[in-house]
Structure 1
Amino acid sequence: MRIVCLVKNKQPLGATIKRHEITGDIIVARVIHGGLADRSGLLYAGDKLVEVNGVLVDGLEPEQVIQILARSEGTIVFKLSPVNDRYISSHTMLYVRAMADYWPQQDPAIPCADAGLPFQRGEILQIVDQNDSLWWQARKASDLGRCAGLIPSNHLLKRKQREFWWSQPFMSHSCIKASQRSMRLSAPYEEVVRYQRRPCDRHRLIVLLGPSGVGVNEMRKQLIDLNPSMFKSPVPHTTRQKKTYEENGREYFFVSKEAFESMVYSHGFLEYGEYNGHMYGTSVEAVKAVLDAGMICIIDLEPQCITGVRTHELKPYIIFIKPPSRNCMRYTRKNASIFTDYYVNMKFKEEDFQEIEESAKKMEVQFGQFFDQVVVNDNLESATVQLMSILRCAQDEPQWIPASWICLDS
């Protein structure tokens, strides 16, 4: 038997308890990395609780013991029977990008909601303990000074996603938030590493995306105009006829319909589509040509093409251009025009602003986990200046990228 004293001081104990499946004893289920119990070095997973502050726990439910601990302040005295074989975790660090939102307070299955770590899509998590097959311990990379919290393991979160999928449209599993499309596109967690581009490496591809009318194309053009020796867009391919003033390889690569379709079948395009009966596309080779010339390649892309561009060769840095408030759009676009498949130089209307807002929200919901940065285009000039600063950081400072990109490079 052993006596353990811990001083709580309005902080969580940093451990969870459960009933042993065979003996029925109340035991320490896990010790949270970086928490009070972990820092003390006095409690271990598997220790059998006998008394808490003089109260015998024999015959009590785990929930009743939790209530005793929750009401206790100051010094907590445990009488316990130590576990014979103490497992000392090596705490191998693993970093992942969350591909879904998770809210522990809405998850009835979590062992202790207060010990849970809420996170949102796109956040970087440091996994510090994977010993439990269902519940990992993690903390946010942006706040490594805090103790870890419980998150669903990769296996458990996949299961929750499947349950969420099959429960549609009833939304019965609200602890896990992910769009139907994003669940099809990605695993619950994506392992990431810090990447520092070397001077001899290609620049990272810059991908701008946002709803039509938000100013993505204008920002891309402004960047190129500001520094044409550094920034460039790839020359697109098209099946339309060359005009007299055009040169093949300057405005477009002019190809036959058969050649274009062959490139489509061989996955030669990052993005392609039809306009006025002609095919247009941005090829992988055209992007590589810009990067191989030592320049920063900038493209604007439809969000559904994101997964195709996320390769170890291109190492894209994805920036979402977000619309400002409705009032700001009315002011900044009062003299602007919108271009569509059917109209040219048409003035913005109120329904256009609403469509921009709704489209932006859908993009964030479905693809937000892939965004490296978000820029609000409330003013074209200031947003472009902000974008220039972001591009410098994307090329010169360490960034989180999928670990698979580094493995494939090696």
Structure 2
Amino acid sequence: MLSGVSEVLSSVVEDVSEAVNRNISGSQLLHELLSAPWLRALLKIYECLMQFQRLSPSPLLPCASGLLFEVSKAHRPSAEARELYNLLSSPHVQGATIRRDEVTGDIYIARVIHGGLADRSGLLHPGDLIVEVNGNSVVGLEPEKVIQILNSSIGTILFKVIPRSTQVTSSQKPVYMRAMVDYCPLQDSSIPCPDAGMAFIRGDLLEVVDQSDALWWQARKLPCGASFAGLIPSASMLRSKHKEQWCIKTRLNVVIFSQKHESTFFPSAGFRRSFRLWRRTSYRRRRQSCTSCSPSSSALSSPYEEVALYQRLPQENHRLIILIGASGVGVNELRKRLIKLNPSTFQGPVPHTTRPIKEGEQAGREYHFVTKELFEYMFCSIFRFVEYGESKSHLYGTSIDAIDEVVKRGRMCIIDVEPPGIHLLRLRNLKPYVIFIKAPSPETLRQTRRNARIITSYAVNRAFTEEDFLELEDTSQLIEAKYKQYFDNVVVNDDLQDACMQLCSIIQQAQNEPQWIPTDMNINTESRSK
């Protein structure tokens, strides 16, 4: 009799298949589960074990290799199979949460998890009243006691449920968001069901499928790895909780930076041969008094950023390419190499300056030459500069107008900015694509920069020191820890030529392939295909 289990299963699958053709509720799910290869392999192994059990002595070693071969032929269990295993091993209300009415003592379904077994079966709905479990009344019991009854039940579990008088069908469309903070449900004491919670980190793409609850939403991480959703705090919940440790998990040195060293995190003594070497603390403070560029405050006020899938049309302007990274990691060199590699495609913006024009220079080619009064007006009154600096009493800066000029000419504008500049550029209709140039390992830094020379504000054309390597690594880690939610891609610059080729490939993808970008950029977006 036991040897015919596989045949019985095949017969059941045929019967269920007929039920599917007649559109009987729930038959499709049952057919998928019973037809799963892993279930057939499990029954085959079970039959083999029962056959060997009747032998004396049991040939355990000889049959081990055969069983291993049978298991290796089975497919990896699907998400539905793992759900079924959880159901059978620890019986409880899978895919739904329960709540007790404090006035009446009734136990009812609080929420049904989107995509879970309870949701797909269509048998349970939010608001349904649970009267009995296996003939035992649950009225007046605490939810924890009901869960204990379910966990202690063996075999079939029978619910007596009074349906909600009016079933509310959800017509919500999925909303796609990027997480701007970290969240861990196991560290959140306020979540109604930690097991149903979904952890995420900054930069994760979320498909929010249910926002009907004011405090707890249901979402999946993209790309979807699970068939069912998990609970995440709503935006208002995260905003009210942002001071708690479970909401924002940052490294100690980032916290210290935020509290004590906000004005000196990106030191003026950088390594790049650009006008950013000439920053003065006074101008940096004036800029911060004019407009806030701190992404931390923005992330806390908007813990989720709504995004949409954007496909650039051939007639549209190219997206702005932003390179950021620690001073000395090679950001400026990579930008110059890209422009030199294909000057008809890549171009950088022409900076503004207050210094007099030199012999051989042409206005609008090397620099836009302006008066100090106009520069300061553009800087403090109308906020036209992304970056600025001072050297030998002359001001230098990259303006948004210069970036627009390159983009409107049909070129790909490539700029390298300090991280605070990302926030300002993301508010523009430039659809920026941010690439973080990450520092390689300290060993690689020592090898690749052994014969390199650097220029700083306090020394000219000197060799790298061990202190420079440590500063570069620390700064790179701090930038990533603070701004990674804004990165669209990351390139490790362990070899300049390889990194340049990798950048070319990434930039082409950014211009030609669908990308997730914020919906507030005044863009034409297309819905994500299912």
Structure-to-structure mapping, 1:224-373, within 5 angstroms? 224-264=339-379, 265-373=381-489
Which residue pairs with 1:107 in the alignment? 188
Instruction: Considering Cα pairs closer than 8 Å and 6+ residues apart, tell me whether 1 or 2 has the greater RCO.
Output: 1
Moved more, 19-28 or 207-216: 19-28
Contact kept, 8 Å, 1:8 with 1:76, in 2: the verdict is no
- The CA distance in 2 between the partners of 1:130 and 1:18, in whole Å, is 19
Which residue pairs with 1:218 in the alignment? 333
Which residue pairs with 1:185 in the alignment? 298
2:298 corresponds to which letter in structure 1? Answer: L
227, 248, 251: which is aligned to 1:176? 248
- The CA distance in 2 between the partners of 1:22 and 1:87, in whole Å, is 23
Cα deviation code 1:332-361 (max 9, x no counterpart): 111112221111222222221221122122
- The CA distance in 2 between the partners of 1:60 and 1:182, in whole Å, is 47
Cα deviation code 1:287-316 (max 9, x no counterpart): 111111111000000111111111342111
- The CA distance in 2 between the partners of 1:272 and 1:23, in whole Å, is 66
2:235 corresponds to which letter in structure 1? Answer: N
Moved more, 387-396 or 266-275: 266-275
Which residue pairs with 1:396 in the alignment? 512
- The CA distance in 1 between the partners of 2:382 and 2:428, in whole Å, is 18
SS at match of 2:236: helix
In terms of fraction of residues, the more strand-rich structure is: 1
Say whether residues 1:40 and 2:121 are aligned partners: yes
Cα distance change on mapping 1:273 and 1:136 into 2, 3 Å: same
- Structure 2, unmatched stretches of 5+, are 1-25, 31-82, 88-92, 259-293, 526-530
Cα deviation code 1:66-88 (max 9, x no counterpart): 34445668754322222222211
Identical counterparts, % of pairs = 55
CA RMSD of aligned residues (A): 2.2
- Structure 1, unmatched stretches of 5+, are 165-171
2:122 corresponds to which letter in structure 1? Answer: G
- The CA distance in 2 between the partners of 1:351 and 1:71, in whole Å, is 62
- The CA distance in 2 between the partners of 1:104 and 1:74, in whole Å, is 31
- The CA distance in 2 between the partners of 1:332 and 1:145, in whole Å, is 43
SS at match of 1:246: coil
Structure-to-structure mapping, 1:12-51, within 5 angstroms? 13-51=94-132
Question: Shift in Å at residue 223 of structure 1?
Answer: 0.7
88, 92, 96: which is aligned to 2:173? 92
- The CA distance in 1 between the partners of 2:398 and 2:158, in whole Å, is 67
Cα distance change on mapping 1:343 and 1:74 into 2, 3 Å: farther
Cα distance change on mapping 1:309 and 1:70 into 2, 3 Å: farther
- The CA distance in 1 between the partners of 2:237 and 2:154, in whole Å, is 34
TM-score (norm 2): 0.71
Say whether residues 1:135 and 2:216 are aligned partners: yes
Cα distance change on mapping 1:126 and 1:258 into 2, 3 Å: same
SS at match of 1:367: helix
Q: Which has the larger radius of gyration?
A: 2
2:146 corresponds to which letter in structure 1? Answer: V
Question: Shift in Å at residue 175 of structure 1?
Answer: 3.8
- The CA distance in 1 between the partners of 2:95 and 2:171, in whole Å, is 18
54, 64, 78: which is aligned to 2:159? 78
Which residue pairs with 1:124 in the alignment? 205
Cα distance change on mapping 1:136 and 1:338 into 2, 3 Å: same
300, 309, 313: which is aligned to 1:194? 309
- The CA distance in 2 between the partners of 1:345 and 1:397, in whole Å, is 42
Contact kept, 8 Å, 1:208 with 1:300, in 2: the verdict is yes
TM-score (norm 1): 0.91
Q: How many residues align?
A: 396
